[in-house]
Amino acid sequence: MLVTVCTIRQLPQALALGASFRQHQPDAPADAFLIGLADDPSRLPADVAIPHPILPITDVLPPERLSALSAMYTPTEFAAACKPHLIQAAMARTSDDVVVYADPNCWFYGPLTPIKDRLEQANTLLTPHITRAPADAFQPDEKYFQNVGLYSGDFLALRRSAETDRLLLWWQDRATDRAHINFCNGSCLDQIWLMHVPVFFRGVSVVKDPSWHVAVWNLPQRRLTRQNDHWLVSDPTQSADGQRLFFVNFKGLSNPDDGLFPYQTRLRPADRPDVQTLLADYQRQVAASDGVRFSGIRPAFGQRPEPMIIRGWRRITVQSLRAVTDFVDKVPLPVIR
């Protein structure tokens, strides 16, 4: 089973993800792709038919719990707090031994067979944001990844086992009430907790394959080449032939303000024709999902506003003012005796 978690506003991306899954696994059962809805299903347009089963968070958590979480979180944080619960509920609904979570912004370029093959020898699969130290002074650097988490929470694969049950219960306990984005407090969604998983749990495999989870944060370490009807991905520092692209996460590529890397300076898509072509293909798929129908529907949960992304002179001004206040805070005052 493939599972994603989204709000109503993100349904076009989720539907595109489902289309990529069906394209490569047309014979999969009707319930093989499940949409976990971190939103109120009553807000769905009445005349819209979703071709995949939906599991609303309102069917998983009681109203009083949802109300409390909604009051303390932004919509992004709320969805992260609910993710472990929705994944566990999805596992309870299926007889499949393998459950794969993918962010709605992902797109698969082949069947999920490589995931299932790796899970024959593991309980959990994680993908790191980067697989080697950046060789420049651009952002994000290693310190930033310590803030957001070493492993991306946008992909997770699980094999049914007692150890997996233990992991999900632990993840729920940690992430549900501590999914804020607050770097000073050591918090970053459900994702930051995944750093502990390889240490706390048995059978965890960290996948460093460059064809897996290509994204804005690792594209500077990837080279893409289109070959007939598929893409090849390779490491630009090595001469080895590329391997077939498995899946891409378009978060932060379709909309640079989306995700945890709005101020990254290492990747300039305008300088990468391969990325532009890949992105254009994906955007056509999302556009086919009639996104205008959903774009104006504000999430029902997550009452706190999302942080504003500021750029240009506004960001420079804010940074300067913060530097001034930091200086004032540290100025030693004379002691009057």
pLDDT in tens, 236-289: 777 667 899 999 999 999 899 999 999 999 999 999 999 999 999 999 999 988
Q: Is the pLDDT of residue 313 over 60?
A: no
Asked whether residue 243 is domain-assigned, the answer is no
pLDDT given at position 38: 98
With cut-offs at 50, 70 and 90, classify the pLDDT of residue 321.
low
Coil, strand, or helix at residue 217? coil
With cut-offs at 50, 70 and 90, classify the pLDDT of residue 179.
very high
- Mean local confidence (pLDDT), 90-118: 97
Asked whether residue 32 is domain-assigned, the answer is yes
Q: Is the pLDDT of residue 93 over 80?
A: yes
User: Mean pLDDT over all residues of the chain?
Assistant: 92
Which residue range(s) make up the domain with 99? 2-211+275-330
Range with the poorest average pLDDT among 166-175, 203-212, 313-322: 313-322
Three-state secondary structure along 263-331?
Answer: CCCCCCHHHCHHHHHHHHHHHHHHHCCCCHHHHCCCCCCCCCCCCCCCCHHHHHHHHHHHHHHHHHHHC
Asked whether residue 16 is domain-assigned, the answer is yes
- Mean local confidence (pLDDT), 219-246: 87
With cut-offs at 50, 70 and 90, classify the pLDDT of residue 79.
very high
Q: Is the pLDDT of residue 316 over 70?
A: no
Asked whether residue 122 is domain-assigned, the answer is yes
pLDDT given at position 250: 97
Q: How many domains does the chain have?
A: 1
pLDDT given at position 329: 72
Helix (H) or strand (E) holding 184: none
Q: Is the pLDDT of residue 322 over 90?
A: no
Helix residue ranges per DSSP H, 94-141: 113-118
pLDDT in tens, 28-41: 999 999 999 999 99
> The domain that contains 111 carries what CATH number?
3.90.550
Asked whether residue 93 is domain-assigned, the answer is yes
Asked whether residue 291 is domain-assigned, the answer is yes
Q: Is the pLDDT of residue 168 over 90?
A: yes
Q: Is the pLDDT of residue 166 over 70?
A: yes
With cut-offs at 50, 70 and 90, classify the pLDDT of residue 213.
very high
pLDDT given at position 319: 59
Q: Residue 78, CB half-sphere, CA atoms under 13 Å: how many?
A: 29
Residue with tokens 């995944």: 194
Q: Is the pLDDT of residue 138 over 70?
A: yes
- Mean local confidence (pLDDT), 42-55: 92
| Whole-number Å distance between alpha carbons of 214 and 245 | 8
| Nearest Cα to Cα of residue 275 among 217, 210, 219 | 219
Asked whether residue 303 is domain-assigned, the answer is yes
Q: Residue 103, CB half-sphere, CA atoms under 13 Å: how many?
A: 23
**Both ends of the chain: CA-CA distance in Å?**
72
Asked whether residue 254 is domain-assigned, the answer is no
